[in-house]
Amino acid sequence: MTPVIVRTRAELAAARTGVEGTLALVPTMGALHEGHRSLIRRAREIAGTVAVSVFVNPLQFGPNEDFDRYPRTFADDVEACAAEGVSIVFAPSVDVMYPAEPQVTLKSGPMGARVEGVTRPGHFDGMLTVVLKLLNLVRPDVAVFGEKDAQQLAMIRRMVADLNVPVEVVGAPTVREPDGLALSSRNRYLTETDRSTALALSRALRAGADAVPDGPSAVVKAARAVLDGAGPALHLDYIVLVDPATFLEVSDAHTGPAVLAVAARVGTTHLIDNTPLEFPKEH
Ligand code: PAF
């Protein structure tokens, strides 16, 4: 199926009017990889029609971040969407999304200042603002996001609950290379040497997961040991064990679900990864 490509609000409104039954939106910044394709497949399981948005959102990049060099591969993205049975590709320009300097934007609050928010101040404000705008424009029944961006997903769930946004948010699991590297559009920036350094992230998460029977502190300690062993080419931003809904760090007495989240800079590339964990009642 060839998706209809819409670039303006009017074209989107016309395409939306033609949708019968349920619509799922997969918001992306393009540079689609197998991880995005798995989100699209999840969306297709849920809804009769799938729309994908492709928009590199300037509002969620800091002044020294990679907005300008973020990979833009639109022709390949459309091909991937076609292969996955996407009906609508919404690819607005910056002017369509932000026709004037926005005066009213979302604040991600205390949760947006935690963990990844410390490394990327303002990122979650810009991300939530564009996600709400996309939801308002596309009006999907369901929106599918990757669990790879666990804090992003938690913040979107919180926004939807706090602002009564009429959409169901669905998370889909992280897709990894056979050697464990989580798929990310930013992996394209990695040299071969960077890539092998970056494997420490997923190795650290696995070491942390193996230490679950010994409790939360042991998990963080085991993960940190792997990252410390990765050498100076890996600059660790954080390794934290947090509550999946609030992203507050959990105590050593914690039982139930948690997320072990890591971020590091390898070369000039900011990488994040995480794994969901479950702490049994007795540990
Ligand atoms: O995860 C992403 O690609 C982006 O943060 C999103 C959700 C498309 C908003 O720009």
Q: Which amino acid is at 117?
A: G
Tell me what the pLDDT averaged over the chain comes to.
Answer: 97
| pLDDT given at position 14 | 98
Domain boundaries along the sequence of the chain: 4-172, 185-273
In ligand 1, the atom with minimum distance to the C-alpha of 29 is: 3
Task: Check if 57 has its Cβ closer than 6 Å to any atom of ligand 1.
Answer: yes
* pLDDT (tens digit per residue) in 140-185: 999 999 999 999 999 999 999 999 999 999 999 999 999 999 999 9
The Cα 183–Cα 176 span in angstroms is 5
**Percentage of the chain surpassing pLDDT 90?**
99
- Which is catalytic among the residues 36, 123, 254, 270? 36
Q: What is the pTM of this model?
A: 0.97
Taking the domain 4-172, which CATH number applies?
3.40.50.620
The Cα 200–Cα 177 span in angstroms is 13
DSSP H helices, 72-190, are 74-83, 94-97, 109-112, 116-119, 123-138, 150-162
To 5 degrees, how large is the angle CA 60–CA 64–CA 68?
A: 70
Task: Check if 130 has its Cβ closer than 6 Å to any atom of ligand 1.
Answer: yes
Q: Collapse the DSSP code of 209 into the 3-class scheme (helix H, G, I; strand E, B; otherwise coil) and give the result.
A: helix
Distance 153 CA to ligand 1 centre (A): 10
Distance 29 CA to ligand 1 centre (A): 6
Give, in order, the Cα–Cα distances in Å from 266 to each of 83, 146, 160, 182, 260. 33, 22, 33, 14, 19
Distance 90 CA to ligand 1 centre (A): 14
Active site residue 36: yes
Protein residue whose Cα sits closest to atom 8 of ligand 1: 28
Distance 173 CA to ligand 1 centre (A): 15
Q: What top-level class would CATH report for the domain 185-273?
A: alpha beta
Strand-by-strand arrangement of the 88-90 sheet: 4-6, 88-90, 49-54, 23-28, 142-146, 168-172
* pLDDT (tens digit per residue) in 56-99: 999 999 999 999 999 999 999 999 999 999 999 999 999 999 99
